[in-house]
Amino acid sequence: MVSAAGASWPGRPVALALAAISQPVASMPQSHHPYDALTPDVVIDSVESVGLWSDARIFPLNSYENRVYQVGIEGAEPLIAKFYRPGRWTDAQILEEHAFAHELVAAEIPVVAPLAFDGQTLMEHQGFRFALFPRRGGRQVELDNFDHLEQVGTMLGRIHAVGAARAFEHRPALTLQHFAIDSRDFILEGDFLPPENRSAYESVTAHIIEQIAPLFDQPWRQLRLHGDCHAGNFLWRDDTPWFVDLDDCLTGPAIQDIWMLISGSRDEQTAYLDTVIEGYETFTPFDPRELQLVEPLRCLRQMHHAAWLARRWQDPAFPMAFPWFNTPRFWAEHILALREQQAALREPPLTLGAV
């Protein structure tokens, strides 16, 4: 999960949030997280292990799931070094992500793809798997700009046309089990919820899962997707949206890559949606029945995000970056947001061309 909100891919540097990668923080409980061993020397040695020569300038960028750095290269443009979180993906899953990125580039779609060294895009050094990417400058896409939205929709249509050509073999699928049920179970089985919030969380999540389960049992068309299409994962460069960070690419229905692009009132959402789909259908058709999934997918994201923070809480970067998590106030607000989502599920789904 890498933001691209800053001036260079993959994101705006947030040194505070990632300071824990190289030194302990006195106010934070000490841990033995695998990233503790990813020191600046290991970062430089990893980059140089592929035959490059670093100028020893390293700048951490704001990726929390992985560790990502801008690394200076002697006599050349800096590169982006991405160190994959140990234990999250298999080699086959990462290589399939890389292959998908290169397939999109071959189709002349603006995607930042990993560089190959001796034919390899995934390298390993001192126990850390990593990939190197070209640095790309740009600014964040404006999702309230209809011109930007239409172009994003056009590029998504092209991505999905490529994504429909074959199936992933190793990447995960978007399922109710993984994103909702497993997330709920992890929270309930862990020591996260204050006693006064446990019953409310247990009840609202159970009702949401029961309410949306029939929709996820339907045989939606399955595609290879970007998987995490929020504004932070685009760069606006050369009057074109560039897609970055395929770390969460997966198999699922097309709407998963569309719904996060729309927000606001119902009329605003409909106008934005119409614009995205107008661009999208230049290259591939969209099944409007998938609009039934917008609010259920929003529920899944909310539940999964809370569980993601809980699963990563032993990583020192997370308490520094998300100090508000795991507080009574957070859980009360999370439960309130889920109740609001439960109400949204009872509303009619969005429709195209309704404004």
How big is the chain by its Cα radius of gyration, in Å?
21
Sequence-ordered list of residues with C-beta below 8 angstroms from that of 116, at least 6 positions apart, any chain: none
Sequence-ordered list of residues with C-beta below 8 angstroms from that of 201, at least 6 positions apart, any chain: 187, 188, 193, 331, 334, 335, 338
Model confidence band, residue 354 (pLDDT cutoffs 50, 70, 90)? low
pLDDT digits (tens, 9 = 90+) for 234-288: 889 888 999 988 999 999 999 999 999 999 999 999 999 999 999 999 999 999 9
pLDDT at 23 (0 to 100): 34
SS3 64: coil
Q: Across residues 56-83, what is the average pLDDT?
A: 95
| Residue % of the chain over a pLDDT of 90 | 82
Give the residue numbers marked as catalytic.
Answer: 228, 245
- Residue ranges of the annotated binding site for Mg(2+) are 233, 245
Q: Which of 311, 307, 294, 298 is nearest to 340 (CA)?
A: 298
Ordered structural domains, the chain, with CATH: 15-134 (3.30.200.70), 146-344 (1.10.510.10)
More confident residue, 233 or 298: 298
Q: Across residues 141-166, what is the average pLDDT?
A: 95
243 in Cβ contact with 110 (< 8 Å):
yes
4 in Cβ contact with 30 (< 8 Å):
no
- Residue ranges of the annotated binding site are 233, 245
Q: Across residues 195-223, what is the average pLDDT?
A: 97
Model confidence band, residue 139 (pLDDT cutoffs 50, 70, 90)? confident
Q: Across residues 96-111, what is the average pLDDT?
A: 97
